A and B are shown apart, each in its own frame.
Chain A
Protein backbone atom coordinates (compact mmCIF):
# COMPACT_ATOMS: atom_id res chain seq x y z
CA UNK A 1 0.00 0.00 0.00
CA UNK A 2 2.06 2.92 -1.20
CA UNK A 3 0.97 6.52 -1.44
CA UNK A 4 0.99 6.17 -5.22
CA UNK A 5 -1.54 3.36 -5.07
CA UNK A 6 -3.62 5.31 -2.61
CA UNK A 7 -3.75 8.37 -4.88
CA UNK A 8 -4.56 6.12 -7.83
CA UNK A 9 -7.59 4.71 -6.00
CA UNK A 10 -8.58 8.21 -4.94
CA UNK A 11 -8.47 9.62 -8.47
CA UNK A 12 -10.10 6.64 -10.17
CA UNK A 13 -12.75 6.41 -7.46
CA UNK A 14 -13.67 10.06 -7.95
CA UNK A 15 -13.73 9.49 -11.74
CA UNK A 16 -16.15 6.59 -11.38
CA UNK A 17 -18.44 8.38 -8.94
CA UNK A 18 -18.49 11.63 -10.90
CA UNK A 19 -19.09 9.80 -14.20
CA UNK A 20 -22.07 8.10 -12.58
CA UNK A 21 -23.29 11.47 -11.38
CA UNK A 22 -22.95 12.88 -14.92
CA UNK A 23 -25.68 10.56 -16.15
CA UNK A 24 -27.77 10.43 -13.01
CA UNK A 25 -28.22 14.07 -11.95
CA UNK A 26 -31.36 15.79 -13.16
CA UNK A 27 -29.76 19.16 -13.69
CA UNK A 28 -27.73 19.40 -16.94
CA UNK A 29 -25.40 22.07 -15.51
CA UNK A 30 -24.53 19.78 -12.61
CA UNK A 31 -23.86 17.02 -15.15
CA UNK A 32 -21.33 19.22 -16.97
CA UNK A 33 -19.69 20.18 -13.69
CA UNK A 34 -19.31 16.50 -12.74
CA UNK A 35 -17.91 15.83 -16.22
CA UNK A 36 -15.28 18.50 -15.59
CA UNK A 37 -14.46 16.89 -12.23
CA UNK A 38 -13.84 13.56 -13.93
CA UNK A 39 -11.63 15.25 -16.58
CA UNK A 40 -9.56 16.79 -13.79
CA UNK A 41 -9.12 13.46 -12.05
CA UNK A 42 -8.12 11.83 -15.34
CA UNK A 43 -5.39 14.47 -15.53
CA UNK A 44 -4.39 13.38 -12.02
CA UNK A 45 -4.00 9.79 -13.28
CA UNK A 46 -1.69 11.05 -16.04
CA UNK A 47 0.44 12.77 -13.41
CA UNK A 48 0.77 9.47 -11.50
CA UNK A 49 2.00 7.90 -14.76
CA UNK A 50 4.67 10.66 -14.96
CA UNK A 51 3.01 11.99 -18.11
CA UNK A 52 2.74 15.52 -16.73
CA UNK A 53 2.74 17.15 -20.19
CA UNK A 54 -0.32 15.14 -21.24
CA UNK A 55 -2.01 15.95 -17.94
CA UNK A 56 -1.53 19.69 -18.42
CA UNK A 57 -2.64 19.55 -22.07
CA UNK A 58 -5.73 17.60 -21.01
CA UNK A 59 -6.62 20.32 -18.51
CA UNK A 60 -5.86 23.21 -20.87
CA UNK A 61 -7.68 21.78 -23.90
CA UNK A 62 -10.56 19.78 -22.47
CA UNK A 63 -11.27 21.49 -19.18
CA UNK A 64 -10.12 25.01 -20.06
CA UNK A 65 -11.63 25.25 -23.54
CA UNK A 66 -13.97 22.44 -24.60
CA UNK A 67 -15.85 22.04 -21.32
CA UNK A 68 -16.26 25.83 -21.02
CA UNK A 69 -18.13 25.79 -24.33
CA UNK A 70 -20.22 22.84 -23.08
CA UNK A 71 -21.07 24.77 -19.96
CA UNK A 72 -21.89 27.88 -22.01
CA UNK A 73 -24.36 26.01 -24.21
CA UNK A 74 -25.97 24.11 -21.35
CA UNK A 75 -26.37 27.26 -19.24
CA UNK A 76 -28.19 28.94 -22.11
CA UNK A 77 -30.80 26.15 -22.20
CA UNK A 78 -33.97 26.63 -20.27
CA UNK A 79 -33.54 23.36 -18.48
CA UNK A 80 -36.29 23.87 -15.91
CA UNK A 81 -38.90 22.98 -18.49
CA UNK A 82 -36.85 20.22 -20.01
CA UNK A 83 -36.11 18.21 -16.86
CA UNK A 84 -37.40 14.80 -17.67
CA UNK A 85 -39.59 13.28 -14.99
CA UNK A 86 -40.20 10.19 -17.13
CA UNK A 87 -39.06 6.81 -16.16
CA UNK A 88 -35.34 6.55 -16.66
CA UNK A 89 -35.81 2.87 -17.43
CA UNK A 90 -36.87 3.67 -20.99
CA UNK A 91 -33.21 4.16 -21.93
CA UNK A 92 -32.17 0.76 -20.62
CA UNK A 93 -32.47 -1.20 -23.92
CA UNK A 94 -30.11 1.09 -25.83
CA UNK A 95 -27.79 1.20 -22.83
CA UNK A 96 -27.64 -2.58 -22.77
CA UNK A 97 -27.00 -2.62 -26.53
CA UNK A 98 -24.03 -0.27 -26.22
CA UNK A 99 -22.72 -2.18 -23.22
CA UNK A 100 -22.94 -5.50 -25.08
CA UNK A 101 -21.07 -4.06 -28.08
CA UNK A 102 -18.37 -2.70 -25.79
CA UNK A 103 -17.95 -5.96 -23.90
CA UNK A 104 -17.88 -7.90 -27.19
CA UNK A 105 -15.07 -5.69 -28.44
CA UNK A 106 -13.10 -6.22 -25.25
CA UNK A 107 -13.60 -10.00 -25.49
CA UNK A 108 -12.45 -10.02 -29.13
CA UNK A 109 -9.29 -8.17 -28.16
CA UNK A 110 -8.64 -10.59 -25.32
CA UNK A 111 -9.26 -13.67 -27.52
CA UNK A 112 -6.90 -12.37 -30.18
CA UNK A 113 -4.14 -12.16 -27.61
CA UNK A 114 -5.05 -15.79 -26.67
CA UNK A 115 -5.24 -14.77 -23.03
CA UNK A 116 -1.48 -14.84 -22.84
CA UNK A 117 -1.20 -11.47 -21.21
CA UNK A 118 2.49 -11.85 -20.46
CA UNK A 119 3.53 -11.92 -24.09
CA UNK A 120 1.68 -8.96 -25.55
CA UNK A 121 3.74 -6.73 -27.80
CA UNK A 122 1.16 -4.38 -29.18
CA UNK A 123 3.68 -1.75 -30.18
CA UNK A 124 7.20 -3.08 -30.58
CA UNK A 125 9.27 -0.10 -29.64
CA UNK A 126 10.21 1.57 -32.95
CA UNK A 127 11.23 4.78 -31.28
CA UNK A 128 14.53 6.05 -30.10
CA UNK A 129 15.63 5.94 -26.50
CA UNK A 130 14.18 8.71 -24.38
CA UNK A 131 16.10 8.22 -21.15
CA UNK A 132 17.11 11.52 -19.64
CA UNK A 133 14.57 13.53 -21.63
CA UNK A 134 11.52 15.20 -20.15
CA UNK A 135 8.30 13.90 -21.64
CA UNK A 136 7.65 17.23 -23.37
CA UNK A 137 10.88 16.78 -25.36
CA UNK A 138 10.09 13.11 -26.01
CA UNK A 139 6.60 13.79 -27.37
CA UNK A 140 7.88 16.72 -29.40
CA UNK A 141 10.74 14.79 -30.99
CA UNK A 142 8.41 11.93 -31.99
CA UNK A 143 5.55 14.11 -33.15
CA UNK A 144 7.60 16.51 -35.26
CA UNK A 145 9.99 14.00 -36.83
CA UNK A 146 8.49 10.52 -37.14
CA UNK A 147 4.85 11.54 -37.42
CA UNK A 148 5.14 14.94 -39.05
CA UNK A 149 2.90 13.98 -41.99
CA UNK A 150 0.03 12.83 -39.76
CA UNK A 151 0.47 15.84 -37.55
CA UNK A 152 0.28 18.23 -40.51
CA UNK A 153 -2.65 16.34 -42.02
CA UNK A 154 -4.69 16.54 -38.82
CA UNK A 155 -3.84 20.23 -38.65
CA UNK A 156 -5.15 20.74 -42.19
CA UNK A 157 -8.32 18.80 -41.39
CA UNK A 158 -8.94 20.99 -38.34
CA UNK A 159 -8.32 24.11 -40.45
CA UNK A 160 -10.81 22.94 -43.08
CA UNK A 161 -13.37 22.20 -40.36
CA UNK A 162 -12.87 25.66 -38.89
CA UNK A 163 -13.19 27.43 -42.24
CA UNK A 164 -16.23 25.30 -43.06
CA UNK A 165 -18.07 26.16 -39.86
CA UNK A 166 -17.27 29.84 -40.28
CA UNK A 167 -18.55 29.83 -43.89
CA UNK A 168 -21.71 28.00 -42.85
CA UNK A 169 -22.60 30.42 -40.06
CA UNK A 170 -21.37 33.70 -41.57
CA UNK A 171 -24.16 35.91 -42.84
CA UNK A 172 -23.99 39.50 -43.97
CA UNK A 173 -26.63 41.64 -42.31
CA UNK A 174 -27.90 44.81 -43.92
CA UNK A 175 -27.83 48.17 -42.19
CA UNK A 176 -25.47 47.32 -39.34
CA UNK A 177 -23.28 50.18 -38.20
CA UNK A 178 -19.75 49.11 -37.44
CA UNK A 179 -16.81 50.94 -35.99
CA UNK A 180 -14.00 51.16 -38.54
CA UNK A 181 -10.97 52.15 -36.52
CA UNK A 182 -8.71 53.02 -39.46
CA UNK A 183 -11.31 55.46 -40.85
CA UNK A 184 -11.65 57.11 -37.47
CA UNK A 185 -7.93 57.51 -37.16
CA UNK A 186 -7.58 59.00 -40.65
CA UNK A 187 -10.27 61.58 -40.05
CA UNK A 188 -8.40 64.89 -39.94
CA UNK A 189 -9.55 68.45 -39.50
CA UNK A 190 -12.98 67.56 -38.29
CA UNK A 191 -12.16 67.91 -34.62
CA UNK A 192 -11.29 71.32 -33.20
CA UNK A 193 -10.17 72.06 -29.71
CA UNK A 194 -11.76 75.35 -28.68
CA UNK A 195 -11.17 77.45 -25.58
CA UNK A 196 -14.63 78.49 -24.55
CA UNK A 197 -14.91 81.78 -22.67
CA UNK A 198 -17.45 81.49 -19.88
CA UNK A 199 -20.83 82.91 -20.76
CA UNK A 200 -19.93 83.47 -24.43
CA UNK A 201 -20.41 80.13 -26.19
CA UNK A 202 -18.92 79.23 -29.56
CA UNK A 203 -19.97 79.35 -33.20
CA UNK A 204 -20.22 76.03 -34.91
Chain B
Protein backbone atom coordinates (compact mmCIF):
# COMPACT_ATOMS: atom_id res chain seq x y z
CA UNK B 1 0.00 0.00 0.00
CA UNK B 2 2.80 2.39 0.92
CA UNK B 3 4.56 1.36 -2.26
CA UNK B 4 1.42 2.18 -4.24
CA UNK B 5 1.14 5.56 -2.58
CA UNK B 6 4.78 6.33 -3.40
CA UNK B 7 4.36 5.30 -7.01
CA UNK B 8 1.23 7.26 -7.70
CA UNK B 9 1.52 10.22 -5.34
CA UNK B 10 3.38 12.46 -7.77
CA UNK B 11 1.20 11.37 -10.67
CA UNK B 12 -2.02 12.11 -8.80
CA UNK B 13 -0.65 15.46 -7.64
CA UNK B 14 0.25 16.48 -11.22
CA UNK B 15 -3.21 15.50 -12.42
CA UNK B 16 -4.80 17.59 -9.66
CA UNK B 17 -2.55 20.49 -10.63
CA UNK B 18 -3.59 20.15 -14.30
CA UNK B 19 -7.25 20.03 -13.23
CA UNK B 20 -6.75 23.31 -11.37
CA UNK B 21 -5.04 24.72 -14.46
CA UNK B 22 -8.24 23.96 -16.39
CA UNK B 23 -10.71 24.89 -13.66
CA UNK B 24 -9.41 28.31 -12.65
CA UNK B 25 -9.24 29.82 -16.20
CA UNK B 26 -12.63 28.23 -16.88
CA UNK B 27 -14.12 29.94 -13.85
CA UNK B 28 -12.59 33.24 -14.95
CA UNK B 29 -13.93 32.59 -18.45
CA UNK B 30 -17.44 32.03 -17.13
CA UNK B 31 -17.30 35.29 -15.19
CA UNK B 32 -16.15 37.17 -18.27
CA UNK B 33 -18.75 35.38 -20.43
CA UNK B 34 -21.57 36.36 -18.08
CA UNK B 35 -20.35 39.95 -18.11
CA UNK B 36 -19.93 40.00 -21.90
CA UNK B 37 -23.33 38.44 -22.38
CA UNK B 38 -25.04 41.14 -20.34
CA UNK B 39 -23.00 43.95 -21.92
CA UNK B 40 -23.69 42.80 -25.50
CA UNK B 41 -27.36 42.30 -24.76
CA UNK B 42 -27.53 45.76 -23.22
CA UNK B 43 -25.70 47.36 -26.15
CA UNK B 44 -28.16 45.88 -28.66
CA UNK B 45 -31.06 47.29 -26.65
CA UNK B 46 -29.34 50.68 -26.21
CA UNK B 47 -28.91 50.22 -22.48
CA UNK B 48 -25.68 50.47 -20.51
CA UNK B 49 -25.67 47.10 -18.82
CA UNK B 50 -23.72 46.54 -15.59
CA UNK B 51 -21.63 49.68 -15.00
CA UNK B 52 -21.67 50.38 -11.26
CA UNK B 53 -19.59 47.75 -9.45
CA UNK B 54 -15.91 48.18 -10.29
CA UNK B 55 -14.47 49.78 -13.44
CA UNK B 56 -16.96 49.40 -16.33
CA UNK B 57 -19.02 47.15 -14.06
CA UNK B 58 -16.42 44.40 -14.31
CA UNK B 59 -16.98 43.21 -10.74
CA UNK B 60 -20.74 42.88 -11.15
CA UNK B 61 -20.61 39.11 -11.69
CA UNK B 62 -18.32 38.34 -8.70
CA UNK B 63 -20.56 40.57 -6.59
CA UNK B 64 -23.64 38.62 -7.73
CA UNK B 65 -21.82 35.39 -6.96
CA UNK B 66 -20.96 36.56 -3.43
CA UNK B 67 -24.56 37.53 -2.87
CA UNK B 68 -25.72 34.05 -3.88
CA UNK B 69 -23.15 32.39 -1.63
CA UNK B 70 -24.42 34.23 1.43
CA UNK B 71 -28.07 33.55 0.68
CA UNK B 72 -29.99 30.83 2.42
CA UNK B 73 -30.41 27.52 0.62
CA UNK B 74 -34.13 26.85 0.68
CA UNK B 75 -35.13 23.20 0.50
CA UNK B 76 -38.80 22.83 -0.49
CA UNK B 77 -40.73 20.76 2.00
CA UNK B 78 -42.12 18.23 -0.47
CA UNK B 79 -38.91 17.82 -2.41
CA UNK B 80 -36.72 14.75 -2.61
CA UNK B 81 -33.85 16.42 -0.79
CA UNK B 82 -30.95 14.17 -1.81
CA UNK B 83 -31.77 14.24 -5.52
CA UNK B 84 -32.59 17.94 -5.23
CA UNK B 85 -29.07 18.73 -4.01
CA UNK B 86 -27.26 16.20 -6.23
CA UNK B 87 -28.80 17.61 -9.45
CA UNK B 88 -26.87 20.93 -9.59
CA UNK B 89 -23.66 19.18 -8.53
CA UNK B 90 -24.04 16.70 -11.42
CA UNK B 91 -24.71 19.53 -13.87
CA UNK B 92 -21.58 21.44 -12.86
CA UNK B 93 -19.33 18.37 -12.56
CA UNK B 94 -20.30 17.04 -15.99
CA UNK B 95 -19.84 20.37 -17.71
CA UNK B 96 -16.35 20.72 -16.23
CA UNK B 97 -15.43 17.07 -16.94
CA UNK B 98 -15.97 17.57 -20.68
CA UNK B 99 -13.14 20.14 -20.73
CA UNK B 100 -10.58 17.46 -19.86
CA UNK B 101 -10.14 16.55 -23.54
CA UNK B 102 -10.36 20.00 -25.13
CA UNK B 103 -7.00 20.91 -26.70
CA UNK B 104 -6.22 24.63 -26.47
CA UNK B 105 -2.91 24.35 -28.33
CA UNK B 106 -0.87 21.62 -30.00
CA UNK B 107 -0.17 19.18 -27.17
CA UNK B 108 -1.72 21.32 -24.44
CA UNK B 109 -4.53 19.06 -23.26
CA UNK B 110 -5.17 17.17 -20.01
CA UNK B 111 -6.20 13.85 -21.62
CA UNK B 112 -5.32 13.32 -25.27
CA UNK B 113 -7.58 10.28 -25.70
CA UNK B 114 -8.36 8.43 -28.92
CA UNK B 115 -12.10 8.89 -28.70
CA UNK B 116 -12.08 12.54 -27.58
CA UNK B 117 -15.05 13.66 -29.63
CA UNK B 118 -17.13 10.68 -28.50
CA UNK B 119 -16.19 11.48 -24.90
CA UNK B 120 -17.48 15.03 -25.24
CA UNK B 121 -20.63 13.77 -26.97
CA UNK B 122 -21.20 11.21 -24.18
CA UNK B 123 -20.63 13.70 -21.38
CA UNK B 124 -22.93 16.29 -22.93
CA UNK B 125 -25.61 13.64 -23.42
CA UNK B 126 -25.39 13.00 -19.67
CA UNK B 127 -26.09 16.67 -18.97
CA UNK B 128 -29.80 16.03 -19.37
CA UNK B 129 -29.84 14.09 -16.08
CA UNK B 130 -29.06 17.11 -13.96
CA UNK B 131 -32.05 18.90 -15.45
CA UNK B 132 -34.40 15.90 -15.22
CA UNK B 133 -33.43 15.23 -11.61
CA UNK B 134 -33.85 18.88 -10.68
CA UNK B 135 -37.27 19.06 -12.27
CA UNK B 136 -38.53 15.86 -10.75
CA UNK B 137 -37.14 16.28 -7.25
CA UNK B 138 -38.54 19.80 -6.85
CA UNK B 139 -41.98 18.15 -6.69
CA UNK B 140 -43.65 21.13 -8.27
CA UNK B 141 -45.43 21.64 -11.58
CA UNK B 142 -43.35 24.32 -13.29
CA UNK B 143 -39.96 22.70 -12.70
CA UNK B 144 -41.36 19.39 -13.87
CA UNK B 145 -42.72 20.81 -17.13
CA UNK B 146 -39.48 22.71 -17.64
CA UNK B 147 -37.45 19.56 -17.12
CA UNK B 148 -39.59 17.54 -19.54
CA UNK B 149 -39.33 20.22 -22.21
CA UNK B 150 -35.61 20.58 -21.71
CA UNK B 151 -34.94 16.85 -21.82
CA UNK B 152 -37.00 16.36 -24.99
CA UNK B 153 -35.24 19.31 -26.59
CA UNK B 154 -31.73 18.18 -25.70
CA UNK B 155 -32.35 14.60 -26.83
CA UNK B 156 -33.81 15.81 -30.15
CA UNK B 157 -30.97 18.14 -31.04
CA UNK B 158 -28.32 15.68 -29.92
CA UNK B 159 -29.29 13.51 -32.91
CA UNK B 160 -28.47 16.18 -35.47
CA UNK B 161 -25.31 17.20 -33.57
CA UNK B 162 -24.23 13.56 -33.80
CA UNK B 163 -24.70 13.49 -37.56
CA UNK B 164 -22.86 16.79 -38.01
CA UNK B 165 -19.95 15.40 -35.99
CA UNK B 166 -19.97 12.32 -38.24
CA UNK B 167 -19.62 14.47 -41.37
CA UNK B 168 -16.58 16.15 -39.82
CA UNK B 169 -15.12 12.80 -38.76
CA UNK B 170 -15.50 11.50 -42.32
CA UNK B 171 -13.19 14.27 -43.49
CA UNK B 172 -10.69 13.64 -40.67
CA UNK B 173 -10.53 9.89 -40.24
CA UNK B 174 -9.92 10.07 -36.50
CA UNK B 175 -11.88 10.71 -33.32
CA UNK B 176 -9.00 12.48 -31.63
CA UNK B 177 -9.62 16.20 -31.16
CA UNK B 178 -6.00 17.16 -31.82
CA UNK B 179 -6.06 15.29 -35.13
CA UNK B 180 -9.37 16.92 -36.03
CA UNK B 181 -7.69 20.30 -35.67
CA UNK B 182 -4.55 19.24 -37.55
CA UNK B 183 -6.68 18.00 -40.46
CA UNK B 184 -7.80 21.60 -40.98
CA UNK B 185 -4.28 22.81 -41.67
CA UNK B 186 -5.03 23.47 -45.36
CA UNK B 187 -8.66 24.52 -45.07
CA UNK B 188 -10.95 25.12 -42.10
CA UNK B 189 -13.93 22.80 -42.27
CA UNK B 190 -16.51 25.57 -42.19
CA UNK B 191 -15.74 26.28 -45.86
CA UNK B 192 -16.44 22.83 -47.38
CA UNK B 193 -19.04 21.92 -44.75
CA UNK B 194 -20.72 25.32 -44.47
CA UNK B 195 -24.35 24.04 -44.18
CA UNK B 196 -23.27 21.69 -41.42
CA UNK B 197 -21.57 24.58 -39.62
CA UNK B 198 -24.92 26.40 -39.55
CA UNK B 199 -26.77 23.28 -38.40
CA UNK B 200 -24.20 22.71 -35.65
CA UNK B 201 -24.36 26.31 -34.48
CA UNK B 202 -28.16 26.31 -34.20
CA UNK B 203 -28.20 22.85 -32.59
CA UNK B 204 -25.60 24.05 -30.10
CA UNK B 205 -27.94 26.89 -29.15
CA UNK B 206 -30.75 24.39 -28.59
CA UNK B 207 -28.50 21.95 -26.76
CA UNK B 208 -27.41 24.57 -24.23
CA UNK B 209 -30.96 25.96 -23.80
CA UNK B 210 -29.89 29.36 -25.05
CA UNK B 211 -32.34 31.81 -26.57
CA UNK B 212 -34.18 31.49 -28.97
CA UNK B 213 -34.57 27.94 -27.68
CA UNK B 214 -34.74 28.71 -23.95
CA UNK B 215 -38.20 27.18 -23.59
CA UNK B 216 -37.28 25.24 -20.43
CA UNK B 217 -36.97 28.54 -18.63
CA UNK B 218 -39.50 30.56 -20.59
CA UNK B 219 -40.37 32.97 -17.80
CA UNK B 220 -43.78 33.92 -19.15
CA UNK B 221 -44.93 30.30 -19.15
CA UNK B 222 -42.86 28.36 -16.63
CA UNK B 223 -41.47 30.94 -14.13
CA UNK B 224 -37.86 29.70 -14.40
CA UNK B 225 -38.30 26.12 -15.57
CA UNK B 226 -36.33 23.48 -13.72
CA UNK B 227 -34.50 26.14 -11.64
CA UNK B 228 -37.66 27.56 -10.10
CA UNK B 229 -37.21 26.04 -6.63
CA UNK B 230 -33.46 26.61 -6.43
CA UNK B 231 -31.82 29.37 -4.45
CA UNK B 232 -28.41 30.34 -3.17
CA UNK B 233 -25.46 28.11 -3.95
CA UNK B 234 -27.29 25.32 -5.86
CA UNK B 235 -28.65 27.95 -8.23
CA UNK B 236 -25.13 29.28 -8.80
CA UNK B 237 -23.98 25.75 -9.60
CA UNK B 238 -26.71 25.49 -12.26
CA UNK B 239 -25.81 28.88 -13.66
CA UNK B 240 -22.10 28.04 -13.84
CA UNK B 241 -22.77 24.64 -15.34
CA UNK B 242 -24.93 26.22 -18.01
CA UNK B 243 -22.30 28.81 -18.93
CA UNK B 244 -19.46 26.27 -18.91
CA UNK B 245 -21.57 24.19 -21.30
CA UNK B 246 -22.04 27.22 -23.53
CA UNK B 247 -18.29 27.83 -23.55
CA UNK B 248 -17.77 24.14 -24.33
CA UNK B 249 -20.09 24.40 -27.31
CA UNK B 250 -18.17 27.49 -28.48
CA UNK B 251 -14.93 25.52 -28.14
CA UNK B 252 -16.46 22.58 -30.02
CA UNK B 253 -17.53 24.85 -32.88
CA UNK B 254 -14.00 26.23 -32.93
CA UNK B 255 -12.36 22.81 -32.96
CA UNK B 256 -14.70 21.18 -35.46
CA UNK B 257 -15.14 24.01 -37.95
CA UNK B 258 -12.87 26.98 -37.25
CA UNK B 259 -9.51 25.25 -37.09
CA UNK B 260 -8.93 25.20 -33.31
CA UNK B 261 -5.64 26.88 -32.45
CA UNK B 262 -4.49 27.24 -36.09
CA UNK B 263 -3.90 30.76 -37.43
CA UNK B 264 -6.12 31.90 -40.34
CA UNK B 265 -3.19 31.93 -42.78
CA UNK B 266 0.07 30.12 -42.11
CA UNK B 267 2.39 33.10 -42.68
CA UNK B 268 4.99 34.76 -40.44
CA UNK B 269 3.39 37.33 -38.13
CA UNK B 270 0.25 35.21 -37.72
CA UNK B 271 1.84 31.85 -36.96
CA UNK B 272 4.23 33.40 -34.44
CA UNK B 273 1.25 34.11 -32.18
CA UNK B 274 0.87 31.28 -29.64
CA UNK B 275 -1.92 28.83 -30.51
CA UNK B 276 -4.01 29.34 -27.43
CA UNK B 277 -4.43 33.01 -28.30
CA UNK B 278 -6.04 32.06 -31.61
CA UNK B 279 -8.15 29.48 -29.79
CA UNK B 280 -9.33 32.07 -27.26
CA UNK B 281 -10.06 34.61 -29.99
CA UNK B 282 -12.15 32.11 -31.93
CA UNK B 283 -14.05 30.95 -28.86
CA UNK B 284 -14.76 34.58 -27.98
CA UNK B 285 -15.99 35.22 -31.52
CA UNK B 286 -18.39 32.25 -31.40
CA UNK B 287 -19.60 33.36 -27.98
CA UNK B 288 -20.21 36.83 -29.42
CA UNK B 289 -22.42 35.20 -32.06
CA UNK B 290 -24.28 33.30 -29.31
CA UNK B 291 -24.85 36.54 -27.40
CA UNK B 292 -26.04 38.40 -30.52
CA UNK B 293 -28.53 35.63 -31.30
CA UNK B 294 -29.83 35.95 -27.74
CA UNK B 295 -30.25 39.67 -28.22
CA UNK B 296 -32.22 39.80 -31.45
CA UNK B 297 -34.07 36.54 -32.09
CA UNK B 298 -37.49 36.03 -30.51
CA UNK B 299 -38.22 32.81 -28.64
CA UNK B 300 -39.48 29.83 -30.63
CA UNK B 301 -42.76 28.12 -29.92
CA UNK B 302 -42.36 24.58 -28.70
CA UNK B 303 -43.89 22.83 -31.73
CA UNK B 304 -41.73 24.98 -34.03
CA UNK B 305 -38.68 23.91 -32.07
CA UNK B 306 -39.52 20.22 -32.43
CA UNK B 307 -40.35 20.67 -36.11
CA UNK B 308 -36.99 22.33 -36.73
CA UNK B 309 -35.13 19.56 -34.95
CA UNK B 310 -36.82 16.49 -36.39
CA UNK B 311 -38.19 17.60 -39.77
CA UNK B 312 -35.49 20.00 -40.94
CA UNK B 313 -32.16 19.33 -39.25
CA UNK B 314 -32.37 15.55 -39.00
CA UNK B 315 -33.05 14.91 -42.73
CA UNK B 316 -30.58 17.63 -43.70
CA UNK B 317 -27.73 16.26 -41.59
CA UNK B 318 -28.52 12.67 -42.56
CA UNK B 319 -28.35 13.68 -46.21
CA UNK B 320 -25.09 15.49 -45.54
CA UNK B 321 -23.54 12.34 -44.05
CA UNK B 322 -24.48 10.34 -47.18
CA UNK B 323 -23.40 13.12 -49.54
CA UNK B 324 -20.07 13.75 -47.80
CA UNK B 325 -19.14 10.08 -47.69
CA UNK B 326 -20.17 9.62 -51.35
CA UNK B 327 -18.09 12.58 -52.50
CA UNK B 328 -15.08 11.50 -50.44
CA UNK B 329 -15.37 7.96 -51.79
CA UNK B 330 -15.96 8.95 -55.41
CA UNK B 331 -13.06 11.37 -55.61
CA UNK B 332 -10.84 9.11 -53.50
CA UNK B 333 -10.36 11.84 -50.91
CA UNK B 334 -11.27 9.82 -47.83
CA UNK B 335 -8.45 9.70 -45.29
CA UNK B 336 -6.91 6.28 -44.88
CA UNK B 337 -8.05 4.96 -48.26
In contact, B4 and A68 (Cβ under 8 angstroms)? no
Number of A-B residue pairs, CB cutoff 8 Å, is 69
Question: Interface size on B (CB < 8 Å)?
Answer: 30
CB distance from A173 to the nearest CB of B (A): 15
In contact, A179 and B158 (Cβ under 8 angstroms)? no
In contact, A59 and B4 (Cβ under 8 angstroms)? no
In contact, B4 and A3 (Cβ under 8 angstroms)? yes
A2–B7 CA distance with the chains assembled, in angstroms: 10
A135–B115 CA distance with the chains assembled, in angstroms: 9
In contact, B125 and A72 (Cβ under 8 angstroms)? no
**Chain B residues whose C-beta falls within 8 Å of the C-beta of A71 in the assembled complex:** 129, 132
Interface: B133 (CB within 8 A)? yes
A41–B267 CA distance with the chains assembled, in angstroms: 48
In contact, B118 and A72 (Cβ under 8 angstroms)? no
**Chain B residues whose C-beta falls within 8 Å of the C-beta of A179 in the assembled complex:** 303-304, 307
Interface: A36 (CB within 8 A)? yes
**Chain A residues whose C-beta falls within 8 Å of the C-beta of B174 in the assembled complex:** 134
Which B161-214 residues sit within 8 Å CB-CB of chain A? 174-175
Given contacts A1-B1, A64-B125, contact A29 B136 (CB under 8 A): yes
**Chain A residues whose C-beta falls within 8 Å of the C-beta of B330 in the assembled complex:** none
CB distance from A74 to the nearest CB of B (A): 9
Interface string of A64-84 (1 = CB under 8 A from B): 110010011001000000000
Given contacts A52-B115, A65-B155, contact A75 B132 (CB under 8 A): yes
Contact among B114, B132, B155 for A134, CB-based, below 8 A = B114
Q: Which residue on B lies nearest to A135, using beta carbons?
A: B114
Q: Which residue on A lies nearest to B114, using beta carbons?
A: A134
In contact, A60 and B136 (Cβ under 8 angstroms)? no
Interface: A136 (CB within 8 A)? yes
Question: Interface size on A (CB < 8 Å)?
Answer: 27
In contact, A56 and B304 (Cβ under 8 angstroms)? no
In contact, A68 and B115 (Cβ under 8 angstroms)? no
A52–B118 CA distance with the chains assembled, in angstroms: 10
Interface: A33 (CB within 8 A)? yes
A56–B128 CA distance with the chains assembled, in angstroms: 16
Interface: B122 (CB within 8 A)? yes
Interface: A53 (CB within 8 A)? yes
In contact, A60 and B4 (Cβ under 8 angstroms)? no
In contact, A60 and B115 (Cβ under 8 angstroms)? no
Which residues of B approach A to under 8 Å, CB–CB?
1, 4, 7-8, 80, 83, 113-115, 118-119, 121-122, 125-126, 128-129, 132-133, 136, 144, 148, 151, 155, 158, 174-175, 303-304, 307
6 A-B contact pairs sorted by A residue (CB < 8 Å): A53-B115, A53-B118, A63-B125, A71-B132, A134-B114, A181-B307
Which residues of A approach B to under 8 Å, CB–CB?
1-3, 6, 27, 29-30, 33, 36, 52-53, 56-57, 59-60, 63-65, 68, 71-72, 75, 134-136, 179, 181
Closest 10 CB pairs of A and B: A64-B125, A56-B118, A59-B122, A134-B114, A60-B122, A56-B122, A52-B115, A75-B136, A56-B115, A53-B115
